Amino acid sequence: MPVQMQLSRIIMSEISDEQYIFLKEVDGNRTFPIVIGAFEAQSIYRAVRNVSLPRPMTHDLIINIFHELQVEPQDILINELRNHTYFARLRVRHNGSLVEIDARPSDAIAVAVRYNPPLPIYVAEEVLAEALGG
């Protein structure tokens, strides 16, 4: 069973290309970090802080695409950890079907936090166990 988690912290450093986001269990205390890029971290930060810019940034464009194509985003699932890299699926409903789109967790989360309420974030139990060093 995937575990529902939420974005709990964003840690941005100006002297490094690697930024961190932390996910925390919704019904528990387990938490783990994911290393992401600066562009994606800024994009997530802006969405969380409701900073709106005059023109759509790249993740906003994805929201525009879903809106114009009448795609209903459902949730995101971080379903794999391989060679220190997390893999995610952006899951959307379209024409009555569930469609899963391969994405990096950073992009998937940047999309998730642009909805109100944010799209649910799930992490596969085995990925969570591995992230926690289990």
Binding site for a copy of itself (CB under 8 A): 39-40, 54-59, 61-62, 64-65, 68-69, 71, 85, 87, 90, 92, 94-95, 99-104, 107, 110
With beta carbons less than 8 A apart as the criterion, state whether 77 and 2 touch.
yes
Give the pairing type, strands 72-82 and 121-123: parallel
Phi/psi at 49 (5° precision): -85, 5
With beta carbons less than 8 A apart as the criterion, state whether 44 and 21 touch.
yes
Closer residue to a copy of itself in complex, CB, 52/85: 85
Closer residue to a copy of itself in complex, CB, 100/130: 100
- The least CB distance from residue 101 to a copy of itself, in Å, is 5
Q: State how far the Cα of 123 lies from the Cα of 26, in Å rounded to an integer.
A: 11
- The least CB distance from residue 118 to a copy of itself, in Å, is 18
Closer residue to a copy of itself in complex, CB, 27/68: 68
Closer residue to a copy of itself in complex, CB, 92/119: 92
Cis peptide before 117 (omega within 30 of 0): yes
